[in-house]
Structure 1
Amino acid sequence: MITVSLSYPPTGDVLLQHARPQVMAMGQFDGLHMGHQSVIRTAASLAESRQCPVSVMTFHPHPKEVMKKGDYEGYLTPVAEKKALLESMGVDVLYIMEFNDAFSRVTPQQFVDHVLFSLQVQTAVVGFDFRFGHRGEGDEGMLRELGGERMNVETVPPFQLNGEKVSSSGIRNALREGDLARALDWLGRPYRLRGIVSDGEKRGRTIGFPTANLRLHDNYVVPMKGVYAVRAVVEDQLLNGVMNVGVKPTFHEGELKPSFEVHLFDFDRQIYGEMMTVELCHFIRPERKFSGVQELVAQIRNDADTASQLLSSSRL
Structure 2
Amino acid sequence: MKVVSLSYPISSELKQQLGQPQIAAIGQFDGLHLGHASVLSTAVRLAREEGVPAALITFYPHPKDVIRKGSYEGYLTPQPDKEALLADMGIDILYVVEFNEALSKVSPEAFFTDVLLPLELKTAVVGFDFRFGHKGQGDADMLAELGKGAMKVITIPPFLMSGEKVGSSSIRTALKTGQLSDANRWLGRHYRIRGSVIHGEKRGRLIGFPTANLELAESYVVPALGVYAVFAQIPGENRRIPGVMNVGVKPTFHEGITKPVFEVHLFDYEADLYGQMLTVDLVSYIRKEHKFESVDELVEWINRDAAEARTILSESE
Task: State the TM bucket, normalised to the shorter chain.
Answer: over 0.9
Structure 1 counterpart SS, 2:240: strand
Partner of 1:262: 264
After TM superposition, the structure 1 = structure 2 runs for residues 1-316 of structure 1, keeping only pairs within 5 Å, are 1-235=1-235, 236=237, 237-314=239-316
Counterparts of 2:13 and 2:255, CA distance in 1: 55
Structure 1: 5+ residue stretches without partners: none
Identical positions, percent? 57
Deviations 1:150-198 (A, max 9, x none): 0110000000000000000000011011111111110000000101011
Q: AA paired with 1:32?
A: L
Shift of 1:13: 3.4
TM-aligned CA deviation for residue 110 of structure 1: 0.6
Provide, for residues 184-214 of structure 1, a one-character-per-residue CA deviation record: whole Å limited to 9, x for no partner. 1100000001010111111000000000001
Residue type of the alignment partner of 2:128:
F
State how far apart, in whole Å, the 2-side matches of 1:65 and 1:87 are: 25
Aligned to 2:184, the other structure's residue is in SS state helix
In structure 2, what residue type is equivalent to 1:158? P
Secondary structure of 2:123's counterpart equals strand
Give the Cα–Cα distance (whole angstroms) in 2 for the partners of residues 13 and 145 of structure 1: 27
Aligned length: 315
- In structure 1, how many angstroms separate the alpha carbons of the residues matched to 2:21 and 2:38? 22
Q: Following TM superposition, by how much is the alpha carbon of 1:21 offset from its aligned partner in structure 2, in angstroms?
A: 0.7
Secondary structure of 1:123's match? strand
* TM-score, normalisation: structure 2: 0.98
Of 80-89 and 235-244, more deviation after overlay is shown by 235-244
Deviates more, 1:13-22 or 1:264-273: 13-22
User: Displacement of 1:17 after TM fit?
Assistant: 2.5
Task: Note the alpha carbon deviations across 1:65-99, whole angstroms, 9 max, x for none.
Answer: 10011110000000001000000011000000000
Displacement of 1:119 after TM fit? 1.0
Counterparts of 2:88 and 2:9, CA distance in 1: 29
Q: 1:16 Cα deviation (Å)?
A: 2.8
Residue aligned with 1:17, SS: helix
More divergent stretch after superposition (147-156 vs 235-244): 235-244
Unaligned runs of 5+ in 2: none
CA RMSD of aligned residues (A): 0.8
The alpha-carbon deviation at position 263 of structure 1 amounts to 0.2
The one-letter code of the counterpart of 1:252 is H
Aligned partner of residue 55 in structure 1, secondary structure: strand
**Cα separation, 2, equivalents of 1:271 and 1:110:** 50
Deviation of 1:14 (Å)? 2.5
Task: Describe the SS at the equivalent of 1:307.
Answer: helix
Shift of 1:15: 2.0
